[in-house]
Structure 1
């Protein structure tokens, strides 16, 4: 079963990334984002692409320019997530055959992202928009448009977000914080999956 959850492992190092990602995958999450402001992110993405590329969608977060898109592609990544809506980054990612999930907060940004070819939208920061904000924007978005809530979405409110129109979630510190062991990550990821399944499945 594929769950609409992207695990954001910000701060992970190349030395630990394989064990951390294995823990995430074993919990039932198969989308993993290594933010570009992590230590040596391209090396980590390369390790993940080589080790888990056939069973996981692997890529980068906090991608801000076209050069970074190319670097992630060269490392073997297939997923580009950004905190902002940059039509050039979106169009380039899609042209490279990669998934593009730009950060949007307003209807203007959402439609600009979709026009540029975004795979889906990352509502960010989700805690500022809230489910009510998503519900209002969802009313004008095209049918079938995928929206992931990132920031402020977690086990305690998955159902509320889903009822407001969220298709999925990006989960960061609730799964991984710098320095966590693989066992801790697996325990946290399993709790996220259990809450997700209860609320959405």
Structure 2
């Protein structure tokens, strides 16, 4: 299962972390209704496997469901068993990359240095998450893109509706967005409609028309 086409066309991955299963149902409904095509729940979220299972049942075909913060092969196995269609990690673990490739699952590992990025790419990752972007800054992204423009980079951290265009201009192939995509008050109120409105604004900002 290869989702690179979806990643490069939608240019957006929604990241959900630290919410309850009930909140995840609201978040998932809003994100899917807002047009988000790639939805990730981090594995350090309590009940992450249940959320992945719920989302696959509810949004199969409408959105692709993945697992984030996948730190080892055991986590990867659990996520895939729950229905994860792609895996994202904050680090480069060659064992996790190998497992994902064996399963035919997309793996987008996190890396910071040029060596880590190239290592992940050569190991079989078709895209690499540049992390932590909020600390590294846009200048770092621009510098990295110069010699490594053949490797698609997903930048995560610090992306908002106000600055998302700057990340694409600096060379990001896609962005990962967490809290700024899910208004806390809307989530607390169970307001999927407001979450959909927020998601729709990000989806529109991420859309890149064909030349």
TM-score by length of structure 1 reads 0.90
Alignment counterpart, residue 102 of structure 2, candidates 83, 87, 95: 95
Give the equivalent residue in structure 2 for 1:179.
Answer: 188
1:166 to 2:178 alignment = no
Give the equivalent residue in structure 2 for 1:24.
Answer: 31
Counterpart CA distance in 1 for 2:189 and 2:92 is 31
Q: Is the 8 A contact 1:91 1:118 kept in 2?
A: no
1:15 to 2:22 alignment = yes
1:3 deviates by 1.3
Q: Unaligned stretches of 5+ in structure 1?
A: none
1:79 to 2:89 alignment = no
Counterpart CA distance in 1 for 2:15 and 2:189 is 13
Counterpart CA distance in 1 for 2:179 and 2:26 is 17
1:180 deviates by 5.7
Counterpart CA distance in 1 for 2:102 and 2:149 is 22
Counterpart CA distance in 2 for 1:166 and 1:67 is 30
Q: How many residues align?
A: 198
1:148 to 2:145 alignment = no
Q: Deviations over 1:54-110 (max 9, x none)?
A: 221101111100011111111111110111111111121121111111111110110
- 3-state SS of 2:155 partner: strand
Q: Unaligned stretches of 5+ in structure 2?
A: 1-5
Counterpart CA distance in 2 for 1:146 and 1:51 is 29
Counterpart CA distance in 2 for 1:6 and 1:71 is 21
TM-score by length of structure 2 reads 0.86
Give the equivalent residue in structure 1 for 2:3.
Answer: none
Residues 126-137 of structure 1: matches in 2 within 5 Å? Answer: 126-137=133-144
Counterpart CA distance in 2 for 1:105 and 1:72 is 24
- 3-state SS of 2:180 partner: coil
Counterpart CA distance in 2 for 1:180 and 1:165 is 36
Counterpart CA distance in 2 for 1:119 and 1:105 is 16
Which one has more relative contact order, counting CA pairs under 8 Å at least 6 apart? 2
Give the equivalent residue in structure 2 for 1:190.
Answer: 200
